[in-house]
Amino acid sequence: MNFGVVNEIQFFAFWLCFSRWVAVLYQLPLFDNAVVPQILKILISTILTFAFFPFVEGTLIAEIKAVGVDHIWALTMFHTMTGLILGFLVKSIMSLFVAAGSILTQQIGFASVNYFDPTQAQQVGPFEKIVEWTLLILVLSSGALVPMFKGVLMSFHTISFLNADRLFKSPEYFVLFFKSAFSSAIILAAPLIFANLLMNLVFGIVARTIPQMNVLMVSFVVNIGMGLILFIGIAEEFFTVSYELYIEKLGVWFQFITQQ
């Protein structure tokens, strides 16, 4: 049995579409786990490419005709890099919640309680995983990934090889994006940061008034106990605000994609 390519340009257009989708998919929080088989990632990327290719086929064919089939490698590199950038920005939105969880771990006193997570292939703390998986369930159950898929689809028209310079003329967006991500992580962890500072102030006064007390050991236990109680009290508001921040950041990302 012999196989052949009937339409070479259409085949290369499909390949370019696949190159961008697979680069985006590898950056998503659920698919970046080491336990997810590589064949599954490739299969889902192929399915997404089949689903969205009819909507972007014309744009990709125009790129190939403008550059030439002999330079298909340059188009492949461009679409792969574009997919990595778009996927990394989406992953960075989720990373700000993991950063908030890391700050909570530090403030409560669980900094030394880390374990090796084989799914992430790195050391993680307890609150990072709680925050990450809770937000991931909220995002998947609410359909908040739909704008992400729509944004990637529209990026084929707004961020193409023919207008690639427009993507690199927006450095202020990346500066503001990562600045807002950092400030959002601080805001989410602000209640426990304030509570920890207040408790340290109280224990400082106690250490001066009752020098015979072992303030270090007492503060360690109180920090953990008060931190857990406070987190239980603010958990509902914490995850509500986190979800709203995710929607807001994803909306900013979507506007950046569509206005290129």
CB 223 within 8 A of CB 199: yes
The letter for the amino acid at 172 is E
Phi then psi for residue 125, to 5 deg, are -105, 175
Dihedral of the CA atoms 211, 213, 216, 218 (nearest 10)? Answer: -140
Per-residue pLDDT tens, the chain, 260 aa: give them.
Answer: 444 455 788 888 999 999 999 988 888 777 776 677 788 888 988 998 999 999 998 889 888 888 888 888 889 999 998 888 888 888 888 888 777 777 777 777 665 556 555 555 556 666 777 777 787 788 778 777 788 888 888 888 888 887 766 666 667 777 788 788 788 888 888 888 888 788 878 877 877 787 777 766 777 777 777 777 888 888 888 888 888 888 888 888 888 877 76
Strands of the chain, DSSP E: 115-117, 122-124
- Domain ranges (residues) in the chain: 8-258
Query: Model pTM greater than 0.95?
Result: no
Tokens of 246: 């995710």
